[in-house]
Amino acid sequence: MTSDVGSSAPTGTIRVAAAQINTAVGDIDGNARLIEKWIGLAEEQGADLVAFPELTITGYPPEDLVLYDNFIAANRAALGQVALLVGDIVALVGFVESEDGKLFNSAAVLHQRKIVATYRKIHLPNYGVFDERRYFTAGDECPVLSIRGIKIGVNVCEDIWEPVGPSEVQCAAGAQIIVNLNASPYESGKQGHRVEIVTGLSHRNRVYTLYVNQVGGQDELVFDGGSMLAGPSGELIGTAARFEESMLVADIDTGSLENLRLNHQAQAVPQDVLDGIAVASVVELDVPLPARRPRLPELSIHRLDRLEAVYRALIMGTADYLKKTGFGKVAIAVSGGIDSALVTAIAVDAIGAENVVGVALPSRYSSEGSVVDAEELCSRLGVELWRIPIEPGHGAFEEMLCEAFDGTEPGLSEENMQARIRGNLMMSIANKFGWLVMTTGNKSEMAIGYATLYGDMAGAYAVIKDVPKTLVYELCDHRNRRGPGSPIPRAIFDKPPSAELRSGQIDEDTLPPYDQLDRIIHMYIEERMSPDLVVQKEQALSEGGATEATVRRVVRLIDINEYKRRQSPPGVKITGLAFGKDRRLPIASGWQR
């Protein structure tokens, strides 16, 4: 980030750093060491202030861990140890604060080996994957830091998503820079919205805004970083890279802000409105001005296209889930289909081919092409492939159930028997060698229950469970274009999707075309449209729209398969509304949609 060329700093200039780091929930000691490391890196760059993500000490989201008194005590002790290592620099570190039986999502201001101030998050999100009101009490004070006369307001995540919030209180108290600590999870397209929020805040208040975000995977959430600095005219000055630990360092010259504010015609927020949010106070900090410090390169704006961002999220989610749960190797049932091809490619890119074992489990209904495609995929990726035909187990199951099933016609139970044999074998392999099974079901299948409990749903991590089938194809094509190589054989793209649980079976025998299905799922799940409105939207299409019967059938399948989704493994959230904590509906419900 720096060169060896020195530069002197104008008196109206402050050097700030946003350290987007990959913490692990509950690894308090490890997180503290990470914070200490990045404080040192910020000091090497001559920063006056370094900001870390929300709840840095505990990792985010700590969930019910915060209800244990020893967890809170350990988090507070670790913060104290970090503070002892902080000298002239100012470090903003997220932690859980406790007072009089109440918990606060707080940012500590560390300086000269002490905790000199704290900010308690005021706006607590309680929607989607967020449950902060379950744990935390809202704060009511807005400290403003004064460093060599430069005023800096500190707040946390959701606080800047309100049109009038703590930032406005701090700006009214003279803040020239807002520093916002975040743990904002990834979803496709969200970074653009974050930029709008941050630049909008800067523009309406005529301030600089430094936004620092967490990076890394945590269960089903992935945090993509993308920390940024916005200027007082609403311009985006620079961003950090996404999906990797990094530090955004910048010099901010506040000298021109006074004229900007004098010329700014925006209507001031009434004082009684500000008083209803919080009370501001100024904290004076003695931060010496360095005589010389390293020269910084020009800031840049990092951009990723949609498919690359999604693919990186899936890689990071997989890598961190394995690392943070202690698994080093995975097993994947490789069928020769598009879903298992994508999951295998993601696993290889996340942890290396040497840590991935593919298992082909052909049945009497598996086509020779599927077996060949699985072998070709694994060969191109450098993955070891085991071939275990399931016919012996299949025959044994049929024999065991022969008497019980006597007089009935073969049907779904017999088909799913094969998937359950495969699930049993995969879990036996994992159990034997201490590996983790990655399942291969996508969002389209999870939505309508086109998956077998204790069969293809058996496993520990479902990386593409929030990826619709149509996006699976896009991501596979993207992976081939992305390189290295083109690991996914063309034959896998070209053949009709099939579970191959009966002779000649293809998915579209029982499902609508995937483009129709995914549109209906998106409208009903993510947009929360009623079935009637979904029908209207489909009928309004000039061509390719689903019939009313198809829409209502898909909606019913979604509704009655909630019990299956409750038993599915976690997977990476990439859409605006994923199954799991994002969407919580009763299993037993009399509501007729």
Distance CA 470, CA 194 (A): 27
Q: Are residues 160 and 207 in the same domain?
A: yes
Q: 16-61: per-residue pLDDT in tens?
A: 999 999 999 999 999 999 999 999 999 999 999 999 999 999 999 9
Mean pLDDT within 99-114: 97
At residue 296, the pLDDT reads 92
Q: Are residues 229 and 103 in the same domain?
A: yes
Residue 6 in this model has a pLDDT that exceeds 50:
no
Q: Which of 332-346, 360-374, 510-524, 536-550 has the lowest mean pLDDT?
A: 360-374
Q: Are residues 174 and 42 in the same domain?
A: yes
At residue 1, the pLDDT reads 35
Distance CA 4, CA 6 (A): 6
At residue 267, the pLDDT reads 55
- Specify whether 121 is catalytic: yes
The residue with tokens 């400290």 is 143
Q: 536-547: per-residue pLDDT in tens?
A: 999 999 898 999
Residue 116 in this model has a pLDDT that exceeds 50:
yes
Q: Which of 54, 97, 132, 445 is catalytic?
A: 54
CA angle 181, 229, 51 (to 5 degrees): 35
Residue 502 in this model has a pLDDT that exceeds 70:
no
Domain boundary residue, one of 482, 507, 532 = 507
Decide if 524 is inside a domain: no
At residue 107, the pLDDT reads 97
Tell me if 133 sits within 8 A of 105, measured CB to CB. Answer: no
At residue 2, the pLDDT reads 34
Residue 223 in this model has a pLDDT that exceeds 50:
yes
Domain boundary residue, one of 507, 541, 564 = 507
Distance CA 43, CA 19 (A): 12
Decide if 550 is inside a domain: no
Q: Which of 97, 132, 157, 564 is catalytic?
A: 157
Mean pLDDT within 147-155: 95
Q: What is the pTM of this model?
A: 0.92
Decide if 126 is inside a domain: yes
Decide if 15 is inside a domain: yes
- Specify whether 54 is catalytic: yes
- Domain span at residue 414 reads 306-507
Amino acid identity of residue 450, one-letter, is Y
Q: 576-587: per-residue pLDDT in tens?
A: 999 988 888 888
At residue 432, the pLDDT reads 97
Tell me if 146 sits within 8 A of 172, measured CB to CB. Answer: no
Residue 208 in this model has a pLDDT that exceeds 50:
yes
Amino acid identity of residue 434, one-letter, is G
Mean pLDDT within 461-472: 97
Tokens of 426: 């995969």
Crossing angle, helix 531-539 and helix 548-560, to 10 degrees?
140
Decide if 559 is inside a domain: no
**Band of pLDDT at residue 262, cut at 50, 70 and 90:** low
Q: Which of 97, 121, 168, 324 is catalytic?
A: 121
Q: What is the CATH number of the domain that holds 318?
A: 3.40.50.620
Mean pLDDT within 72-100: 97
Contacts of 546 (CB under 8 A, 6+ apart): 512, 516, 519, 520, 538, 554
Q: Are residues 311 and 247 in the same domain?
A: no
Q: Are residues 190 and 79 in the same domain?
A: yes
CA angle 175, 36, 195 (to 5 degrees): 45
Mean pLDDT within 500-523: 83
Mean pLDDT within 477-504: 86
Residue 266 in this model has a pLDDT that exceeds 70:
no
The mean pLDDT value of the chain amounts to 92
**Band of pLDDT at residue 128, cut at 50, 70 and 90:** confident
- Coil, strand or helix: which one is 126? coil
- Say how many domains are in the chain: 2
Residue 5 in this model has a pLDDT that exceeds 70:
no
Q: 350-399: per-residue pLDDT in tens?
A: 999 999 999 999 888 878 878 899 999 999 999 999 999 999 999 999 89
Tell me if 442 sits within 8 A of 465, measured CB to CB. Answer: yes
Q: 283-299: per-residue pLDDT in tens?
A: 999 999 887 889 999 99
Q: Which of 9-18, 471-480, 524-533 has the lowest mean pLDDT?
A: 9-18
Decide if 295 is inside a domain: no
Q: Are residues 224 and 128 in the same domain?
A: yes
Q: Are residues 233 and 132 in the same domain?
A: yes
Q: Cα–chain-centroid distance for residue 188?
A: 10
The residue with tokens 């008194």 is 69
* Percent of the chain at pLDDT exceeding 70: 95
Of the candidates 374, 390, 380, the residue with the CA atom closest to the CA atom of residue 495: 374
Phi/psi zone of residue 148: left (φ > 0), alpha (ψ -120 to 50 degrees), beta?
left
Q: What is the CATH number of the domain that holds 26?
A: 3.60.110.10
Q: Are residues 36 and 87 in the same domain?
A: yes
Q: 159-207: per-residue pLDDT in tens?
A: 999 889 999 999 999 999 999 999 999 999 999 999 999 999 999 999 9
CA distance from start to end of the chain: 56
Decide if 77 is inside a domain: yes
Q: Are residues 20 and 118 in the same domain?
A: yes
Residue 451 in this model has a pLDDT that exceeds 70:
yes
Decide if 538 is inside a domain: no
Tell me 252's DSSP state.
E
CA distances from 417 to 353, 401, 402, 441 (A): 31, 11, 13, 17
- Coil, strand or helix: which one is 569? coil
At residue 7, the pLDDT reads 47
**Band of pLDDT at residue 12, cut at 50, 70 and 90:** confident
**415 φ/ψ angles, rounded to the nearest 5 degrees:** -65, -50
Domain boundary residue, one of 473, 491, 507 = 507
Mean pLDDT within 96-108: 96
Q: Are residues 177 and 235 in the same domain?
A: yes
Q: Are residues 194 and 326 in the same domain?
A: no
Query: In sequence order, which ranges of 111-165 are alpha helices (DSSP H)?
Result: 132-135
At residue 582, the pLDDT reads 87
Furthest C-alpha separation in the chain? 91
Q: Are residues 244 and 140 in the same domain?
A: yes
At residue 328, the pLDDT reads 95
- 61-67-71-75 Cα dihedral, nearest 10 degrees: 60
